[in-house]
Amino acid sequence: MSFHIVIPARLASTRLPNKPLADLAGLPMIVRVAQRAAMAGALQVVVATDAADVQAACEAHGVRALLTRADHPSGSDRLAEAVELLALADDAVVLNVQGDEPLIDPAMIRACAELLLSRPHCAMSTVAHGIDSAEEFANPNVVKLVCDAAGHALYFSRAPLPWWRDAPGGGAQPYPGAVLRHVGLYGYRAGFLRRFPQLAQSPLEQIEALEQLRVLWHGERIAVHVSDTRPGPGVDTPEDLARVRAQLAADAAR
């Protein structure tokens, strides 16, 4: 299948310094992510980083890495530079895999790519899964997503939406099947990635701090793959890192 994977990796992290280089069972985390992503069957897997140390760590383990500018405001902007450096055609499909997802399901990456390849009218694709917990629904760190009948994103929000007015017992509860939890995995057409940095930020994006709202604001469509499974745990904190290390150790002991 014809798609490319680019993994943006920024060395600076407020909660977990040098996160891409964190050791996971003898390999830097960014290498683990790249190896996992390669199982999705892409034409190529490339890391786009702002740090020579990350580039060197990748290349030491046979992972191609591009050195990009350090002043990109978002991962999408870093991907846009990578698209230029790779000289990809405008119709090429590029998957943005987060550099802190060492347990990501390769099948989920492939499904996201397949969806965009099948929807020529969409600029992007992404992934979501169902929410069945009131705690998750109310959590502002969980990005909620609602779709139209054709599976295109209508809106992303940190707020609990849609609001179930007549929920049993009242309070913020997810209506079954009406709300999804967004997974930070994106597919892009390379031509759209080239345009993205020039698009003006939208007020909604600034309010919610969600850059995908810029895409909807400018009238582009985002196709949504609804997954039956949840992604493996990502790494944002030292506690997350310990959890993933424990899971890798358990998997190796089987």
pLDDT digits (tens, 9 = 90+) for 179-214: 999 998 999 999 999 999 999 999 999 999 999 999
CA–CA distance, 54 with 193 (Å, rounded to integer): 23
Q: In degrees rounded to 5, what are phi and psi of residue 84?
A: -70, -45
- The H-assigned helical ranges of the chain are 29-38, 52-60, 75-86, 106-118, 134-138, 190-195, 203-208, 212-217, 238-253
Q: pTM score, two decimals?
A: 0.93
pLDDT over 70 at 236, yes or no: yes
Stretch 231-252: mean pLDDT:
86
pLDDT digits (tens, 9 = 90+) for 11-43: 877 678 889 999 998 999 999 999 999 999 999
CA–CA distance, 88 with 103 (Å, rounded to integer): 27
Residue that wins the pLDDT comparison between 78 and 117: 117
What pLDDT does 75 receive?
Answer: 79
3-state SS, 1-37, equals CCCEEEEEECCCCCCCCCHHHCEECCEEHHHHHHHHH
C-beta separation of 91 from 189 below 8 A: yes
The angle subtended at Cα 99 by Cα 98 and Cα 101, nearest 5°, is 70
What pLDDT does 60 receive?
Answer: 97
